[in-house]
Amino acid sequence: MDKPKILLTTPPLNKIVEPLYDKPSFVRYSIASLAAVLLHEDITNDLLCIDAKFSQIYENDLLKLILDFKPDIIGISSFTYEIEDAGNIAEKVKSILPRTIICVGGPHISAIPEQCMKDFTGFDIGFIGEAEISFKEFCHNYSEKGNYANIKGICYREIDKIIINPEREKINNLDELPMPAWHLLPKAKEYFIQTSKGCPFNCNFCFNPNGNIVRQRSAENVIKEIEWLIENMQPKRISFGDEVFGSKNSNTEKILDLIIEKQIYKKVKWDIQTHVSFVNEELLKKLKKAKVSKIELGVESGNDEILKMMGKGIKKEKIIYAFNLCKKYKIKTGAFLIFGHPNETKESINESIKFACKLNPTEPIFALMVPFPGTKIYEYYKNQDYNYICRSTKWSEYRKQLNTVLQLKNISNKELRILLLKANVMLYLKNFRFLGLIKFGLSNYKSGIAFLKSFFLK
Protein backbone atom coordinates (compact mmCIF):
# COMPACT_ATOMS: atom_id res chain seq x y z
CA MET A 1 0.00 0.00 0.00
CA ASP A 2 1.35 3.40 -0.97
CA LYS A 3 1.84 5.87 1.84
CA PRO A 4 -0.31 9.02 1.54
CA LYS A 5 1.05 12.35 0.40
CA ILE A 6 0.26 14.82 3.19
CA LEU A 7 0.21 18.60 3.23
CA LEU A 8 -0.10 20.57 6.48
CA THR A 9 -0.92 24.26 6.35
CA THR A 10 -2.51 27.26 8.00
CA PRO A 11 -5.31 29.18 6.23
CA PRO A 12 -4.14 31.55 3.50
CA LEU A 13 -3.69 35.24 4.09
CA ASN A 14 -6.72 37.25 3.07
CA LYS A 15 -5.69 40.74 4.10
CA ILE A 16 -3.62 42.19 6.91
CA VAL A 17 -6.12 43.43 9.48
CA GLU A 18 -4.13 42.98 12.69
CA PRO A 19 -0.40 42.77 11.85
CA LEU A 20 0.40 40.91 15.09
CA TYR A 21 -1.78 37.97 13.98
CA ASP A 22 -1.91 38.35 10.20
CA LYS A 23 1.83 38.90 9.80
CA PRO A 24 3.25 36.80 12.64
CA SER A 25 6.94 36.59 13.51
CA PHE A 26 6.54 32.96 14.59
CA VAL A 27 5.62 29.74 12.80
CA ARG A 28 2.65 27.65 13.92
CA TYR A 29 3.42 25.09 16.63
CA SER A 30 0.51 22.81 15.65
CA ILE A 31 1.95 22.13 12.18
CA ALA A 32 5.40 21.29 13.54
CA SER A 33 3.91 19.03 16.21
CA LEU A 34 1.71 17.04 13.79
CA ALA A 35 4.52 16.77 11.25
CA ALA A 36 6.84 15.34 13.90
CA VAL A 37 4.39 12.54 14.71
CA LEU A 38 3.95 11.67 11.02
CA LEU A 39 7.71 11.44 10.53
CA HIS A 40 8.29 9.52 13.76
CA GLU A 41 5.65 6.92 12.82
CA ASP A 42 6.94 6.68 9.22
CA ILE A 43 3.42 7.37 7.96
CA THR A 44 4.44 9.26 4.83
CA ASN A 45 7.38 9.65 2.49
CA ASP A 46 6.02 12.84 1.03
CA LEU A 47 5.19 15.58 3.54
CA LEU A 48 4.90 19.29 2.81
CA CYS A 49 4.45 21.90 5.55
CA ILE A 50 3.31 25.42 4.68
CA ASP A 51 2.62 28.12 7.25
CA ALA A 52 0.69 30.36 4.88
CA LYS A 53 0.20 33.10 7.49
CA PHE A 54 3.90 33.27 8.38
CA SER A 55 5.00 33.12 4.74
CA GLN A 56 2.32 35.65 3.70
CA ILE A 57 0.79 33.38 1.08
CA TYR A 58 -2.54 34.50 -0.35
CA GLU A 59 -5.32 32.13 -1.39
CA ASN A 60 -4.51 31.82 -5.12
CA ASP A 61 -0.84 31.14 -4.43
CA LEU A 62 -1.64 28.57 -1.74
CA LEU A 63 -4.12 26.91 -4.08
CA LYS A 64 -1.41 26.64 -6.74
CA LEU A 65 1.03 25.07 -4.27
CA ILE A 66 -1.62 22.54 -3.24
CA LEU A 67 -2.56 21.66 -6.84
CA ASP A 68 1.10 21.24 -7.80
CA PHE A 69 1.67 18.90 -4.83
CA LYS A 70 -1.59 16.96 -5.28
CA PRO A 71 -1.80 15.65 -1.70
CA ASP A 72 -3.95 12.74 -0.63
CA ILE A 73 -4.56 14.43 2.74
CA ILE A 74 -4.58 18.10 3.70
CA GLY A 75 -4.52 19.20 7.33
CA ILE A 76 -5.47 22.82 8.07
CA SER A 77 -4.81 24.30 11.52
CA SER A 78 -7.19 27.20 12.12
CA PHE A 79 -8.16 29.70 14.79
CA THR A 80 -11.67 31.17 14.87
CA TYR A 81 -10.82 34.43 13.11
CA GLU A 82 -9.35 32.55 10.13
CA ILE A 83 -11.81 29.63 9.85
CA GLU A 84 -13.66 31.29 6.96
CA ASP A 85 -10.43 31.45 4.95
CA ALA A 86 -9.78 27.80 5.81
CA GLY A 87 -13.27 26.86 4.63
CA ASN A 88 -12.89 28.82 1.39
CA ILE A 89 -9.61 27.17 0.41
CA ALA A 90 -11.04 23.76 1.32
CA GLU A 91 -14.01 24.23 -1.02
CA LYS A 92 -11.79 25.35 -3.90
CA VAL A 93 -9.43 22.42 -3.46
CA LYS A 94 -12.40 20.03 -3.30
CA SER A 95 -13.76 21.32 -6.61
CA ILE A 96 -10.46 20.48 -8.34
CA LEU A 97 -9.13 17.54 -6.28
CA PRO A 98 -12.32 15.81 -5.13
CA ARG A 99 -10.48 12.69 -3.90
CA THR A 100 -8.25 14.67 -1.51
CA ILE A 101 -9.38 14.36 2.11
CA ILE A 102 -9.40 17.74 3.82
CA CYS A 103 -9.00 17.82 7.60
CA VAL A 104 -9.31 20.77 9.96
CA GLY A 105 -8.00 21.15 13.50
CA GLY A 106 -7.63 23.90 16.06
CA PRO A 107 -9.77 25.59 18.71
CA HIS A 108 -12.72 26.51 16.48
CA ILE A 109 -13.56 23.00 15.28
CA SER A 110 -12.82 21.72 18.80
CA ALA A 111 -15.33 24.12 20.34
CA ILE A 112 -18.25 23.71 17.92
CA PRO A 113 -17.52 20.66 15.74
CA GLU A 114 -21.01 20.05 14.36
CA GLN A 115 -21.66 23.70 13.54
CA CYS A 116 -18.22 24.09 11.95
CA MET A 117 -18.73 21.07 9.70
CA LYS A 118 -22.16 22.39 8.67
CA ASP A 119 -20.79 25.88 8.01
CA PHE A 120 -17.90 24.69 5.84
CA THR A 121 -18.73 21.82 3.52
CA GLY A 122 -15.17 21.54 2.18
CA PHE A 123 -14.00 19.91 5.41
CA ASP A 124 -14.22 16.12 5.41
CA ILE A 125 -12.92 15.48 8.92
CA GLY A 126 -12.53 17.65 12.02
CA PHE A 127 -10.03 16.90 14.77
CA ILE A 128 -11.19 17.81 18.25
CA GLY A 129 -8.72 18.77 20.98
CA GLU A 130 -5.18 17.37 20.94
CA ALA A 131 -4.88 15.94 17.44
CA GLU A 132 -1.50 14.20 17.42
CA ILE A 133 -2.76 10.68 18.16
CA SER A 134 -6.07 11.00 16.29
CA PHE A 135 -4.37 12.35 13.16
CA LYS A 136 -1.78 9.60 13.32
CA GLU A 137 -4.50 6.92 13.52
CA PHE A 138 -6.46 8.50 10.68
CA CYS A 139 -3.43 8.61 8.40
CA HIS A 140 -2.57 4.99 9.30
CA ASN A 141 -6.09 4.00 8.18
CA TYR A 142 -6.11 6.27 5.16
CA SER A 143 -6.70 3.40 2.73
CA GLU A 144 -9.94 2.52 4.51
CA LYS A 145 -11.77 5.68 3.46
CA GLY A 146 -14.92 6.28 5.42
CA ASN A 147 -14.02 3.75 8.12
CA TYR A 148 -13.61 6.29 10.91
CA ALA A 149 -15.87 4.88 13.63
CA ASN A 150 -13.03 3.66 15.84
CA ILE A 151 -10.96 6.86 15.76
CA LYS A 152 -11.57 8.91 18.90
CA GLY A 153 -11.52 12.68 18.88
CA ILE A 154 -12.81 13.28 15.36
CA CYS A 155 -16.00 14.33 13.60
CA TYR A 156 -16.86 13.51 9.99
CA ARG A 157 -19.60 13.33 7.39
CA GLU A 158 -21.68 10.23 6.81
CA ILE A 159 -24.11 10.83 3.96
CA ASP A 160 -26.25 13.69 5.29
CA LYS A 161 -25.20 13.45 8.95
CA ILE A 162 -22.31 14.80 11.03
CA ILE A 163 -20.88 12.05 13.23
CA ILE A 164 -18.97 13.04 16.39
CA ASN A 165 -16.89 10.22 17.82
CA PRO A 166 -16.08 9.77 21.55
CA GLU A 167 -13.57 12.17 23.07
CA ARG A 168 -9.87 11.40 22.78
CA GLU A 169 -8.06 10.85 26.07
CA LYS A 170 -5.44 13.48 26.89
CA ILE A 171 -1.77 12.58 26.38
CA ASN A 172 -0.47 12.16 29.94
CA ASN A 173 3.21 11.61 29.19
CA LEU A 174 4.13 14.49 26.88
CA ASP A 175 7.66 13.13 26.52
CA GLU A 176 6.14 10.38 24.35
CA LEU A 177 5.59 12.99 21.64
CA PRO A 178 8.55 13.64 19.33
CA MET A 179 10.10 17.09 19.24
CA PRO A 180 8.19 19.38 16.83
CA ALA A 181 9.54 19.18 13.27
CA TRP A 182 10.57 22.82 13.15
CA HIS A 183 13.00 22.06 10.32
CA LEU A 184 10.08 21.60 7.91
CA LEU A 185 9.05 25.23 8.35
CA PRO A 186 10.96 28.43 7.51
CA LYS A 187 13.26 29.98 10.09
CA ALA A 188 11.51 32.49 12.33
CA LYS A 189 12.61 35.23 14.71
CA GLU A 190 10.41 33.83 17.47
CA TYR A 191 9.29 30.37 18.57
CA PHE A 192 6.51 29.41 20.93
CA ILE A 193 7.22 26.16 22.73
CA GLN A 194 5.20 24.29 25.33
CA THR A 195 6.61 22.80 28.52
CA SER A 196 3.14 21.75 29.64
CA LYS A 197 -0.49 21.44 28.57
CA GLY A 198 -3.60 22.18 30.59
CA CYS A 199 -4.86 24.85 32.97
CA PRO A 200 -6.61 24.32 36.34
CA PHE A 201 -8.64 27.53 36.10
CA ASN A 202 -12.02 28.12 34.45
CA CYS A 203 -11.98 31.68 33.12
CA ASN A 204 -15.28 32.47 31.43
CA PHE A 205 -13.57 34.02 28.38
CA CYS A 206 -11.16 31.14 27.73
CA PHE A 207 -11.71 27.96 25.72
CA ASN A 208 -9.31 25.37 27.07
CA PRO A 209 -9.16 22.26 24.85
CA ASN A 210 -6.17 20.97 26.84
CA GLY A 211 -8.22 20.28 29.97
CA ASN A 212 -7.90 21.24 33.63
CA ILE A 213 -5.12 18.84 34.58
CA VAL A 214 -1.64 20.24 33.97
CA ARG A 215 0.63 17.75 32.20
CA GLN A 216 4.33 18.55 31.86
CA ARG A 217 7.27 17.55 29.71
CA SER A 218 10.45 16.64 31.53
CA ALA A 219 12.99 19.39 31.98
CA GLU A 220 15.54 17.50 29.86
CA ASN A 221 13.03 17.16 27.03
CA VAL A 222 12.29 20.91 27.06
CA ILE A 223 15.94 21.95 27.11
CA LYS A 224 16.74 19.57 24.26
CA GLU A 225 14.21 21.39 22.08
CA ILE A 226 15.50 24.82 23.10
CA GLU A 227 19.09 23.86 22.33
CA TRP A 228 18.06 22.43 18.95
CA LEU A 229 16.25 25.66 18.06
CA ILE A 230 19.23 27.78 19.10
CA GLU A 231 21.67 25.70 17.08
CA ASN A 232 19.57 25.24 13.96
CA MET A 233 17.16 28.19 13.78
CA GLN A 234 19.04 30.97 15.64
CA PRO A 235 15.88 32.64 16.99
CA LYS A 236 15.92 35.99 18.74
CA ARG A 237 13.22 34.94 21.19
CA ILE A 238 11.72 31.78 22.63
CA SER A 239 8.42 32.07 24.49
CA PHE A 240 7.02 29.43 26.79
CA GLY A 241 3.40 29.25 25.71
CA ASP A 242 2.20 27.40 28.80
CA GLU A 243 -0.95 28.79 30.39
CA VAL A 244 0.47 28.27 33.89
CA PHE A 245 4.27 28.11 33.86
CA GLY A 246 5.47 27.33 37.37
CA SER A 247 2.35 25.46 38.47
CA LYS A 248 4.38 22.36 39.31
CA ASN A 249 7.36 23.71 41.15
CA SER A 250 9.77 20.77 41.08
CA ASN A 251 9.75 20.39 37.29
CA THR A 252 9.85 24.17 36.79
CA GLU A 253 12.89 24.36 39.07
CA LYS A 254 14.66 21.71 36.99
CA ILE A 255 13.97 23.62 33.78
CA LEU A 256 15.31 26.85 35.27
CA ASP A 257 18.35 25.08 36.74
CA LEU A 258 19.23 23.71 33.30
CA ILE A 259 18.74 27.14 31.70
CA ILE A 260 21.18 28.53 34.27
CA GLU A 261 23.64 25.62 33.96
CA LYS A 262 23.71 25.75 30.14
CA GLN A 263 23.58 29.57 30.06
CA ILE A 264 20.69 29.53 27.62
CA TYR A 265 20.08 33.23 28.38
CA LYS A 266 23.37 34.12 26.67
CA LYS A 267 22.16 32.60 23.41
CA VAL A 268 18.54 33.71 23.18
CA LYS A 269 15.99 35.90 24.94
CA TRP A 270 13.27 33.88 26.58
CA ASP A 271 10.04 34.72 28.37
CA ILE A 272 7.05 33.10 30.03
CA GLN A 273 3.38 33.69 30.73
CA THR A 274 1.64 32.43 33.83
CA HIS A 275 -1.15 32.93 36.34
CA VAL A 276 -0.48 35.42 39.14
CA SER A 277 -1.27 32.69 41.71
CA PHE A 278 2.03 30.98 40.86
CA VAL A 279 4.17 34.08 41.28
CA ASN A 280 6.15 33.84 44.50
CA GLU A 281 9.51 34.90 45.90
CA GLU A 282 11.19 31.53 45.31
CA LEU A 283 10.13 31.39 41.64
CA LEU A 284 11.11 35.01 40.99
CA LYS A 285 14.58 34.50 42.47
CA LYS A 286 15.16 31.55 40.17
CA LEU A 287 13.71 33.33 37.12
CA LYS A 288 15.98 36.29 37.81
CA LYS A 289 19.02 34.04 38.03
CA ALA A 290 18.00 32.40 34.75
CA LYS A 291 17.69 35.91 33.29
CA VAL A 292 14.12 35.63 32.04
CA SER A 293 13.46 38.61 29.77
CA LYS A 294 9.78 39.07 30.61
CA ILE A 295 6.85 37.60 32.56
CA GLU A 296 3.38 38.03 31.06
CA LEU A 297 0.47 37.90 33.52
CA GLY A 298 -3.28 37.87 33.08
CA VAL A 299 -4.79 40.82 34.95
CA GLU A 300 -8.01 41.00 32.90
CA SER A 301 -9.79 43.60 35.10
CA GLY A 302 -9.28 46.06 37.91
CA ASN A 303 -12.71 45.34 39.39
CA ASP A 304 -12.98 42.64 42.07
CA GLU A 305 -16.58 41.74 41.24
CA ILE A 306 -15.65 41.13 37.61
CA LEU A 307 -12.58 39.13 38.67
CA LYS A 308 -14.80 36.99 40.90
CA MET A 309 -17.34 36.32 38.17
CA MET A 310 -14.78 35.39 35.52
CA GLY A 311 -13.58 32.35 37.50
CA LYS A 312 -9.94 33.34 37.51
CA GLY A 313 -9.59 32.76 41.24
CA ILE A 314 -7.75 36.00 42.05
CA LYS A 315 -8.28 39.40 43.63
CA LYS A 316 -6.58 42.71 43.01
CA GLU A 317 -4.33 42.27 46.07
CA LYS A 318 -2.81 39.12 44.59
CA ILE A 319 -2.21 40.85 41.26
CA ILE A 320 -0.52 43.81 42.99
CA TYR A 321 1.66 41.39 44.97
CA ALA A 322 2.80 39.62 41.79
CA PHE A 323 3.70 42.84 39.98
CA ASN A 324 5.48 44.27 43.02
CA LEU A 325 7.61 41.12 43.22
CA CYS A 326 8.53 41.46 39.55
CA LYS A 327 9.55 45.06 40.17
CA LYS A 328 11.55 44.02 43.23
CA TYR A 329 13.59 41.64 41.08
CA LYS A 330 13.65 44.07 38.15
CA ILE A 331 11.94 41.67 35.75
CA LYS A 332 9.99 43.15 32.86
CA THR A 333 6.27 42.45 32.82
CA GLY A 334 3.45 42.15 30.34
CA ALA A 335 -0.13 42.62 31.54
CA PHE A 336 -3.22 41.36 29.72
CA LEU A 337 -6.46 43.29 30.32
CA ILE A 338 -9.85 42.83 28.67
CA PHE A 339 -12.65 45.36 28.18
CA GLY A 340 -16.19 44.08 27.71
CA HIS A 341 -16.74 41.62 30.56
CA PRO A 342 -20.31 40.58 31.48
CA ASN A 343 -22.17 43.57 32.94
CA GLU A 344 -19.15 45.78 32.24
CA THR A 345 -19.72 49.53 32.60
CA LYS A 346 -17.69 52.55 31.60
CA GLU A 347 -16.96 52.99 35.30
CA SER A 348 -15.54 49.47 35.66
CA ILE A 349 -13.44 49.91 32.52
CA ASN A 350 -12.05 53.18 33.84
CA GLU A 351 -11.35 51.35 37.10
CA SER A 352 -9.34 48.82 35.09
CA ILE A 353 -7.45 51.60 33.32
CA LYS A 354 -6.62 53.22 36.66
CA PHE A 355 -5.53 49.83 38.05
CA ALA A 356 -3.31 49.17 35.01
CA CYS A 357 -1.68 52.57 35.47
CA LYS A 358 -0.97 51.66 39.10
CA LEU A 359 0.59 48.32 38.10
CA ASN A 360 2.59 50.07 35.37
CA PRO A 361 3.61 46.94 33.43
CA THR A 362 6.48 47.14 30.98
CA GLU A 363 4.15 46.08 28.18
CA PRO A 364 0.42 46.72 28.61
CA ILE A 365 -1.73 44.49 26.39
CA PHE A 366 -5.32 45.73 26.25
CA ALA A 367 -7.93 43.84 24.25
CA LEU A 368 -11.67 43.76 23.63
CA MET A 369 -13.61 40.75 24.85
CA VAL A 370 -14.07 38.17 22.11
CA PRO A 371 -16.95 35.69 22.57
CA PHE A 372 -14.93 32.72 21.35
CA PRO A 373 -16.93 29.52 20.77
CA GLY A 374 -16.63 27.06 23.61
CA THR A 375 -16.49 29.74 26.31
CA LYS A 376 -19.11 30.86 28.80
CA ILE A 377 -18.89 34.31 27.25
CA TYR A 378 -19.97 32.79 23.93
CA GLU A 379 -23.09 31.38 25.57
CA TYR A 380 -23.85 34.71 27.29
CA TYR A 381 -23.35 36.47 23.97
CA LYS A 382 -25.59 34.10 21.99
CA ASN A 383 -28.34 34.32 24.61
CA GLN A 384 -27.86 38.09 25.01
CA ASP A 385 -27.35 37.67 28.75
CA TYR A 386 -25.40 40.03 31.03
CA ASN A 387 -26.03 43.07 28.84
CA TYR A 388 -24.58 41.55 25.66
CA ILE A 389 -26.00 42.30 22.23
CA CYS A 390 -25.45 39.53 19.67
CA ARG A 391 -24.36 41.37 16.55
CA SER A 392 -22.54 38.89 14.33
CA THR A 393 -21.23 35.38 13.86
CA LYS A 394 -18.96 36.43 11.03
CA TRP A 395 -15.94 34.60 12.37
CA SER A 396 -13.37 36.84 10.65
CA GLU A 397 -14.48 39.64 13.00
CA TYR A 398 -13.62 37.68 16.15
CA ARG A 399 -10.41 39.60 16.80
CA LYS A 400 -8.91 40.84 20.06
CA GLN A 401 -8.22 44.47 19.15
CA LEU A 402 -10.30 45.16 16.07
CA ASN A 403 -13.36 43.01 16.57
CA THR A 404 -16.67 44.62 15.63
CA VAL A 405 -18.65 41.74 17.14
CA LEU A 406 -18.96 42.65 20.78
CA GLN A 407 -21.34 45.26 22.08
CA LEU A 408 -22.96 45.80 25.44
CA LYS A 409 -26.37 47.41 25.79
CA ASN A 410 -24.82 50.25 27.79
CA ILE A 411 -21.55 50.60 25.82
CA SER A 412 -21.31 50.66 22.02
CA ASN A 413 -18.53 48.87 20.18
CA LYS A 414 -17.12 52.22 19.11
CA GLU A 415 -17.06 53.43 22.72
CA LEU A 416 -15.21 50.25 23.73
CA ARG A 417 -12.55 50.96 21.12
CA ILE A 418 -12.22 54.57 22.32
CA LEU A 419 -11.65 53.27 25.86
CA LEU A 420 -9.07 50.83 24.48
CA LEU A 421 -7.21 53.72 22.87
CA LYS A 422 -7.49 55.77 26.08
CA ALA A 423 -6.01 52.91 28.12
CA ASN A 424 -2.94 52.57 25.91
CA VAL A 425 -2.20 56.30 26.05
CA MET A 426 -3.06 56.92 29.71
CA LEU A 427 -0.80 54.19 31.10
CA TYR A 428 2.27 55.81 29.58
CA LEU A 429 1.28 59.39 30.35
CA LYS A 430 0.23 58.70 33.97
CA ASN A 431 3.60 57.10 34.64
CA PHE A 432 5.56 59.81 32.79
CA ARG A 433 6.81 57.25 30.29
CA PHE A 434 6.83 59.65 27.36
CA LEU A 435 9.68 57.92 25.54
CA GLY A 436 7.90 54.61 26.11
CA LEU A 437 4.76 56.00 24.48
CA ILE A 438 6.76 57.10 21.44
CA LYS A 439 8.42 53.68 21.19
CA PHE A 440 5.06 51.98 21.61
CA GLY A 441 3.60 54.09 18.81
CA LEU A 442 6.51 53.45 16.46
CA SER A 443 6.62 49.70 17.07
CA ASN A 444 2.86 49.38 16.67
CA TYR A 445 2.18 52.00 14.03
CA LYS A 446 0.74 49.51 11.51
CA SER A 447 -1.57 48.10 14.16
CA GLY A 448 -2.42 51.68 15.15
CA ILE A 449 -3.42 52.58 11.58
CA ALA A 450 -5.58 49.47 11.39
CA PHE A 451 -7.11 50.39 14.74
CA LEU A 452 -7.96 53.92 13.61
CA LYS A 453 -9.52 52.52 10.44
CA SER A 454 -11.72 50.33 12.62
CA PHE A 455 -13.66 53.39 13.78
CA PHE A 456 -15.18 53.51 10.30
CA LEU A 457 -16.38 49.92 10.63
CA LYS A 458 -19.89 49.11 11.78
Pairwise CA distance, residues 369 & 343, whole Å: 12
pLDDT averaged per 10 residues, the chain (length 458): 90 87 93 97 95 97 97 97 97 96 97 97 96 94 77 92 95 95 97 93 92 92 98 97 84 95 97 94 96 97 95 92 97 97 96 98 94 95 93 86 84 90 94 86 62 55
Sign of the torsion angle spanned by Cα atoms 446, 452, 453, 454: positive
Amino acid at 447: S
Radius of gyration (Cα) for the chain, nearest Å?
Answer: 22
Q: What is the dihedral of CA 363, 420, 110, 16, to 10 degrees?
A: -80
Contact predicate 185/31, CB 8 Å:
yes
* Inter-residue contact 100 to 75 (CB < 8 Å): no
Contact 200, 307 (CB under 8 A): no
Of residues 302, 226, 294, 298, the one with CA closest to residue 264: 226
Cα 267 → chain centroid: 26
**SS3 assignment, position 426:** helix
Q: 3-class SS at 110?
A: helix
Looking at the DSSP bridge assignments, the partners of residue 215 are 197
Q: Nearest to residue 246, comparing CAs of 229, 271, 228, 223? A: 271
Report the C-alpha gap between 75 and 98 in whole angstroms: 15
CA angle 451, 456, 458 (to 5 degrees): 105
Residue 425 DSSP label: H
**pTM surpassing 0.75?**
yes
Question: Which superfamily, per CATH, for 5-164?
Answer: Cobalamin-binding domain (3.40.50.280)
Q: Average model confidence (pLDDT) for the chain?
A: 92
179 near 15, Cβ under 8 Å? no
Which of 323, 324, 332, 228 has the alpha carbon at shortest distance from 272?
332
Beta bridge partners, 76, equal 9, 104
Task: Please say whether the beta carbons of 266 and 227 come within 8 A.
Answer: no
Number of C-beta neighbours around residue 381 at 10 A:
26
Predicted confidence at residue 88, as pLDDT, reads: 97
User: What span, in angstroms and rounded, lies between the C-alpha atoms of 103 and 13?
Assistant: 19
Query: Which segments of 113-214 does DSSP mark as H helices, in order?
Result: 113-119, 132-140
State the sign of the Cα–Cα–Cα–Cα dihedral 177, 179, 182, 184.
negative
